[in-house]
Amino acid sequence: MNSIWTAEQPIVSIRDVYKSYGPVTVLNGVSMDVMKGEVICIIGPSGSGKSTLLRCINALVGINRGSIRVEGQEVHEANVDKRELRKKVGMVFQSFNLFPHKTALQNVMMAPIHVLKQRPDEVEERARKLLKKVRLDGKEGAYPGELSGGQQQRVAIARSLAMNPAAMLFDEVTASLDPETVKEVLVTIRELAEDGMTCILVTHEMGFAREVSDHVYFTDRGVIVEHGPPEKILHLTTSSRRWGMRYGPTATAIESVSASRKSGSFESVGARTRITTSRAARSNSFPSSIRRLPLTVGTTGRSLLSSS
């Protein structure tokens, strides 16, 4: 770990990153800073390099040029300990990748016991708390095949959290879920964000991106074509349509988010502007109760959370 890194610096700093697969350039000079506790959404057309960028952040794939630092540590240095890095940066994928022959609790406990070599009794206590946090208390003994897609995805999130990461990467984690389970997962992610977890999310859920993010990046053909606070970027009539994104607004959701966001302030950070609504203000603005805040997802425009 680079000892000179401090929490005032970006927890994830991406500078001029290039990545090619053979002759195909997938990332074409991407730069981005993520501060501790920030929620960043990456949005863009299929094939624009979003998943590749996430995979580069936790070194699942290499880069051709540029720099990616996590807590000041260059991720793509030859001697970097990738296991250490992946303890720090959790990643949740569209496919849950749970062990089918292990219960929910066992899935959450595995990595801390086998990778972190922590004591099983302590791991179990924490795993139970994490399952409760993702609203799965009572399902500890269930096998993945006995859980809905949304429940499995929340086990996957708990499993990542069990490593006590400094940041979480989410790659379209609701994309394969049916609408009724999408909302459970989005609520879980929103609560993580409210708790101050640094999150980098790739999503097609524009309403959700608008609600939870501090900063939104639009990617297209390997470059960031637009970025800024969600109010600036996620205009129904401009960016989202221009980039052909799914957008499911309800006026109430958009207006409530806009109003609460207005209580935040904006400040310039280097070349960009970011919203500085405090996490407490965010919590007040976006209460955890799924009954109180409409949240729109998918193409239908209906408010899923308010229907609970």
- Residues lying near ligand ATP in the complex (CB under 6 A): 21, 24, 26, 44, 46-52
Measured from the CB atom, is 52 or 213 closer to ligand ATP? 52
Does residue 203 touch Mg ion according to CB under 5 A?
no
Buried b / exposed e across 232-267, counting CB within 10 Å, b at 16+?
bbbeeeebbeebebbbbbbeebbebbeebbeebeee
- Shortest Cβ distance from residue 225 to Mg ion (Å)? 17
Does residue 256 touch Mg ion according to CB under 5 A?
no
The interface mask with Mg ion, positions 31-70, x = CB under 5 A, is --------------------x-------------------
- Partner from Mg ion, ligand ATP, none binding residue 21, C-beta < 5-8 Å depending on class: ligand ATP
- Shortest Cβ distance from residue 44 to ligand ATP (Å)? 6
- Cα dihedral 160, 163, 164, 167 in deg (nearest 10): -50
Residue 84, CA distances (Å) to 6, 166, 177 in order: 18, 12, 31
Measured from the CB atom, is 26 or 216 closer to ligand ATP? 26
Q: Is the dihedral of CA 240, 58, 186, 7 positive or negative?
A: negative
- Partner from ligand ATP, Mg ion, none binding residue 47, C-beta < 5-8 Å depending on class: ligand ATP
* Binding-site size, Mg ion (CB under 5 A): 1
Angle CA 293–171–139, to nearest 5: 65
End-to-end C-alpha distance for the chain, whole angstroms: 45
**Tokens describing residue 2:** 């680079």
- Shortest Cβ distance from residue 172 to Mg ion (Å)? 6
- Shortest Cβ distance from residue 146 to Mg ion (Å)? 28
- Shortest Cβ distance from residue 46 to ligand ATP (Å)? 3
Residues that bind Mg ion (CB under 5 A): 51
